[in-house]
Amino acid sequence: MAILTYREALNRAMVEEMEKDPLIYLMGEEVGHYQGAYKVSQGMLDRFGEERVIDTPISENGFAGIGVGSAMVGLRPIIEFMTWNFSLVAIDQIINSAAKMNYMSGGQFPMPIVFRGAGGAGGRLGAQHSQAFESWYAHCPGLKVVCPATPKDAYGLLKSSIRDNNPTIFIESEVLYGSKGEVPEQEYTIPLGLGEIKRKGTDITLVTWSRALGFAEEAAAILEKEGISVEIVDLRSLRPLDENLIYESVKKTNRALVVEEGWPVAGFGAQIAYLIQKNAFAYLDHPVERVTQMDVPMSYAANLERMSLPNATRVADTIREMLQ
């Protein structure tokens, strides 16, 4: 078992897939000569050359469209957004083109494309560089939405995303790029739509994904000392969604809390809360609760940013209230 960083795991996944399939290419701003704005594509230009590791001008809408067009005729693009914040100028291509191409053509045009890059909030980057957009993309049928929280998951999920014949929104956590974890040396994939119980517990089910897993684990460790046993479900992908994993856990613990980095209104946590009350209502001893980012754009000020983001204290406090 090797210890890799989250970014190294992503890099390994892309390199291995590109070595196997000559139709895969990586395209984005600074992915080649600069070696990746976040160094996820480090070394790939040397290995694969300029024909397959392609630097673009700053034009997200344009190169997202290039990716979609090329996928229509059989290439398997990996389109890197330097950050998901910039994906908003490409959202027309992602939703109006990629997500719908197979459907509106009556199944004639599968869309084997991965859109990936750094997402999430924090790091004092201010309002325009600090936001979690998975709920936006998870809203749209036709897209798959993947949000890995560990190096091991990042590797296995990215490989599955690259092999998938559908457009995948692969949101990496910017603050996790340097985080380390065990990654098996043998090649493996993790199917999209398969969540994982990251921690077993009996008193409450905490549903989360991506960076918020860290807040969840921290809170669970604090609460363990108080005799509270938290079960943590890491969804890993929001579309497809491992619904049964959530319900099975809730049936055991009778309580559920969703923890996410994004905003609360129409956030993905609201969908999960709806699904739990719809499908596991009889098992609930308490309304489903959520811990999210505050309902404000991100402030630059350190204290306000801290206050806005979810954290272990807020998670632990919410759980204590729910168990009273």
Partner 1 sequence: MVSSIPKDSQSVSELKEFYRQMVLIRKFEEAAAKAYSVGKIGGFLHLYIGQEAVGVGSIAALTPKDYIVSTYRDHGHALARGLNPKPLMAELFGKGTGISKGNGGSMHFFDRNAHFMGGHGIVGGHISLAAGIAFASKFKKEDSVTICFFGEGAANIGSFHEGLNLAAIWKLPVVFICENNHYAMGTPEYRALAVKDVSVRAYAYDMARDHIEGDEVRKVKDHVQVAVERARRGEGPTLIEVSTYRFRGHSMSDPAKYRTKEELEAYKKKDPLMRARHELELGGIKTEELDKMDLEIQSQIDEAYQYAETSPEPPLSQLHKYVYAEDK
Residue among 19, 96, 221, 300 that touches partner 1 (CB under 8 A): 96
Listed residue (43, 37, 267) closest to 136, CA to CA: 267
| Contact between 47 and 25 (Cβ < 8 Å) | no
Distance from the Cα of residue 271 to its chain's centroid: 16
- Nearest approach, Cβ of 135 to partner 1 (angstroms)? 19
Q: How far is CA 322 from CA 183, 254, 272, 317, in A?
A: 36, 11, 17, 9
Smallest gap from residue 149 Cβ to partner 1 (A): 24
Residue keyed to tokens 């890993």: 236
Strands (E), 84-236: 114-119, 144-146, 168-173, 180-183, 196-199, 204-208, 230-234
Among 1, 2, 19, 59, binds partner 1 (CB under 8 A): 59
Residue 193 interacting with partner 1 (CB under 8 A): no
Q: Which stretch binds partner 1 (CB under 8 A): 7-15, 34-42, 97-105, 275-283?
A: 97-105
User: Could you say whether residue 170 binds partner 1 (CB under 8 A)?
Assistant: no
CB of 45 to partner 1, least distance (A): 16
Q: Which amino acid is at 324?
A: Q
227 binds partner 1 (CB under 8 A): no
Q: Are 226 and 259 in contact (CB under 8 A)?
A: no
Could you confirm whether 129 is annotated as catalytic?
yes
Identify whether 60 is a catalytic site residue: yes
> Which residue's CB is nearer to partner 1, number 10 or number 64?
64
Q: Which is nearer to partner 1, 27 or 233 (CB)?
A: 27
Residue appearing with tokens 């590791």: 53
Residue among 177, 188, 236 at smallest CA distance from 5: 177
Interaction of residue 254 with partner 1, rule CB under 8 A: no
> Which residue in the list 17, 29, 60, 134 is annotated as catalytic?
60
d(CA 174, CA 197): 23
Residues 31 and 53: beta-carbon distance below 8 Å: yes
CB 70 to partner 1: min, Å: 4
Q: Beta partners for 282?
A: none
Q: Choose the catalytic residue: 16, 30, 129, 248.
A: 129
Q: Using the rule CB under 8 A, is 33 a contact of partner 1?
A: no
Q: Return residues touching partner 1 (CB under 8 A).
A: 25, 51, 56-57, 59, 61-75, 89, 92-93, 96-97, 101-112, 141-142, 144, 163-166
Catalytic residues: 60, 129
